[in-house]
């Protein structure tokens, strides 16, 4: 089955700097890659997702890149702000019925002001 590895487990950046979180997946048939953000004590929420037929997607300060050949995808946050502090989870699936979404272990992002 699918296996998703996420790095780093914790990341501290200065406010205004960029943050990058990387994930690798094992199943080359996976074609859907969402990212969820979970603030302390709250529920996870989708912040961005990408399909395998797209190499990059951007939404304001966040972007996701996908390298299908290397089977890895990354979350990029620019101009970080204190409210970006949270746990971020990547995930992968084949995007079809019965092909479950597998999550990475999560990255704790701390933005220092």
Partner 1 sequence: NAGVTQTPKFRVLKTGQSMTLLCAQDMNHEYMYWYRQDPGMGLRLIHYSVGEGTTAKGEVPDGYNVSRLKKQNFLLGLESAAPSQTSVYFCASSFKGWTYNSPLHFGNGTRLTVT
- Contact footprint for partner 1 (CB under 8 A): 6, 9, 32, 34, 36, 42-46, 49, 51, 89, 93, 95-106
| Closest separation in Å from C-beta 9 to partner 1 | 7
| Closest separation in Å from C-beta 17 to partner 1 | 25
| CB contact at 8 A, 19 and 76 | yes
Whole-angstrom Cα distance, residue 41 to residue 14? 23
Q: CB atoms < 10 A from the CB of 24, how many?
A: 18
If the CB atoms of residues 35 and 111 are measured against partner 1, the closer one turns out to be 35
Tokens of 62: 């966040």
If the CB atoms of residues 16 and 62 are measured against partner 1, the closer one turns out to be 62
């Amino acid at each position: 089955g699918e296996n998703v590895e996420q790095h780093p487990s914790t990341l501290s950046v200065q406010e205004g700097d960029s943050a990058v979180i990387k994930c690798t997946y094992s199943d080359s048939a996976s074609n859907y890659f969402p990212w969820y953000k979970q603030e302390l004590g709250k529920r996870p929420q989708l912040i961005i997702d990408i399909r395998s037929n797209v190499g990059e997607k951007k939404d304001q300060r966040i972007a996701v890149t996908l390298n299908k050949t290397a089977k890895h995808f990354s979350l990029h946050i620019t101009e970080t702000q204190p409210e970006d502090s949270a746990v971020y989870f990547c995930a992968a699936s084949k995007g079809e019925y019965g092909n479950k979404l597998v999550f990475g272990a999560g990255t704790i992002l701390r933005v220092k002001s």
